[in-house]
């Protein structure tokens, strides 16, 4: 089974705690592609935190909140052909903690 994970983050200061790094590492074990979307008030600010498990990081204005981020990613940042490679799409945000168990 091929899975895509789209993980939305928000922090007013773009500082992401260790639990985010941990959950991304776990999701990378379960998903072929992990896309992280940072909803930011100021997209020119750098983020702080280890997001190295992400295959792609998208920084966008915080318009439409999480649902807007999912829509932008699925409709604007990925092609139909890319999406057809996956059997499942996991939509997540940073409101819960890992680890994840199979």
pLDDT tens track for 25-42: 999 999 999 999 999 988
pLDDT tens track for 46-81: 899 999 999 999 999 999 999 999 999 999 999 999
Q: What's the pTM?
A: 0.91
Confidence of residue 99 (pLDDT cuts 50, 70, 90): low
Three-class SS of 18-47: HHHHHHHHHHHHHCCEEEEEEEECCCCCCC
């Amino acid at each position: 089974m091929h899975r895509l994970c789209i993980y939305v983050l928000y922090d007013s200061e773009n500082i992401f705690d260790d639990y985010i790094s941990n959950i991304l590492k776990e999701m990378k074990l379960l998903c072929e592609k992990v896309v992280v979307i940072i909803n930011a008030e100021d997209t020119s600010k750098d983020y702080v935190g280890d997001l190295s498990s992400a295959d792609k990081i998208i920084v966008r204005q915080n318009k439409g909140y999480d649902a807007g981020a999912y829509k932008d990613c699925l409709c604007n940042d990925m092609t139909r052909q890319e999406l057809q490679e996956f059997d499942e799409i996991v939509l997540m945000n940073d409101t819960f903690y890992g680890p994840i168990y199979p």
